Amino acid sequence: MKRSRRTKIVATLGPASDTPEMIEKLFHAGVDVFRINMSHLAREKLPERIEVIRTIEREAKRPIGILVDLQGPKLRLGTFLGDAAHIENGQTFVLDSDPTPGNANRVYLPHPEILTALEPDHAVLIDDGKLRLVVTEVSEGRAVTRVEVGGRISNRKGVSLPHTVLPLPAMTDKDRGDLEAGLAAGADWIAVSFVQRPEDVAEVKKVAAGRAQVMAKIEKPQALSRLDEIIEISDGIMVARGDLGVEMPLEQVPGVQKRITRGARRLGKPVVVATQMLESMITSPVPTRAEVSDVATAVYEGADAVMLSAESAAGEFPVEAIATMNRIAEQVERDALYWSILMAQRSEPEPTASDAIAAAAHQIVDALGLRAIMAWTHSGSTVLRLARARPNASVIALTPKRETARRLTMAWGVHPIVTKDASDVDDMAFRAAKFAVRERFAEIGDRVIVVAGVPFGIPGATNMVRIAFVTREHAERA
């Protein structure tokens, strides 16, 4: 099954899309990667959900990516007498270590590490930023705040700390169990929430040990101060705009999105733009004009993938939301301005064999107007380098490793195919041309670029570029 766009679509599964029939509909509507949010799925149901996707994959004969999203630490208030209280602008409000129910003057904060880390002038945001407190004084087990934006405050509301670096690991005990369950069930990608520093990603990568790729979710302002390090150690990046928009001024989020997207592209790491992309389609069969523009902006910027959350997980029109996102991406990619933007952002190749081969392939594509780059790969690393500069040609990844094909479903412009490794140079070129015809990326008389490594079967040995002509024999044996 050939997609007619290069930008990938990630869809979150949930109550509105948890049946095999609906998951299959979403795949045919355009989903490349399914996200499973462990905040809302019981761990024991994970293998069953993944097996449903794998069944659809076998029937479609096309790799499908699976992203398991770890919940991360959830910071919440304690409880109140009568379940809620009302706090006024300008008043003093205390966060403390006393577990008794709170009132309009104080409340229990069941996270001693927060009380230890808070400093004067740090902001404390409650209930997705609806309430705003500023710390004026701290002592052992107690933080005194001034209410800047008051209102109703109730049991177990979430706490956000935009100015505070917390001495918390990105993984809780629940996350460790979910991570092992996801790896055992065959997840292709693991998303790490609450990333503040590169060490948070390193911890997950150590456990994953290559069994899955690790994606850092950039959702906390603290991560931005070490963004390059986080991108460097991660296999992919997600721009989690929802939480970013809570913990930093909303008007700064678009610029941060561009910074993250370009940083990830520069290092050749897949980047996903997420949250509220078609939010109105939770309850409406059509999006707003602003939402269409938002999705288009992410595509114009060269994001590897755009993601739906509640729209596909809990909305009334999940299939329509996917189809809408698919049409937007297709339309943007037909625009000549799209390619001029991408070309303007091309990074200089690094002094490596993979980048040299990728640069040569791109020059050949541009000079000859070719439609396909056929890349033989084991690990997928060379394919990611080919995709990094966003060539005006599809990158068809030919790999004997099914897990590599599944991971590459997240990458811009990559069409993965699982096939046995090439036996020699002639077999490499012949089967590459055959697959180009079979997958409708070339016709008789066309030329395609073939990228591979000799000797075959050795990861990281890409060292050859060849131009192959598509003949009638290739078509007959496709």
This prediction's pTM: 0.93
* Contact by Cβ (8 Å): 390, 346: yes
What tens digit of pLDDT does each residue of 256-290 get?
Answer: 999 999 999 999 999 999 999 999 999 999 999 99
Among 3, 25, 76, 466, which one carries the catalytic annotation?
76
Among 132, 217, 390, 431, which one carries the catalytic annotation?
217
Return the SS3 of 326.
Answer: helix
Q: Is 76 a catalytic residue?
A: yes
Cα distances (Å, whole numbers) of residue 399 to 185, 425, 434: 22, 15, 15
What tens digit of pLDDT does each residue of 82-106 get?
Answer: 999 999 999 999 999 999 999 999 9
Cα distances (Å, whole numbers) of residue 120 to 91, 139, 155, 242, 472: 16, 11, 25, 26, 75
Among 35, 62, 157, 434, which one carries the catalytic annotation?
35
* Contact by Cβ (8 Å): 411, 377: no
Helix axes 198-208, 173-185, angle to 10 degrees: 40
pLDDT of 354 reads 82
Res. 145 pLDDT band, cuts 50 70 90 = very high
Averaged pLDDT of the chain:
95
* Pairing between β-strand 394-399 and β-strand 84-87 as defined by DSSP bridges: unpaired
What tens digit of pLDDT does each residue of 193-238 get?
Answer: 999 999 999 999 999 999 999 999 999 999 999 999 999 999 999 9
Whether the per-residue pLDDT at 37 is higher than 90: the answer is: yes
* Contact by Cβ (8 Å): 200, 191: no
Q: Is 35 a catalytic residue?
A: yes
Question: For residues 224 and 249, what is the distance between their CA atoms, to the nearest angstrom?
Answer: 14
Q: Is 390 a catalytic residue?
A: no
Whether the per-residue pLDDT at 334 is higher than 90: the answer is: yes
Res. 170 pLDDT band, cuts 50 70 90 = confident
Among 7, 145, 275, 399, which one carries the catalytic annotation?
275
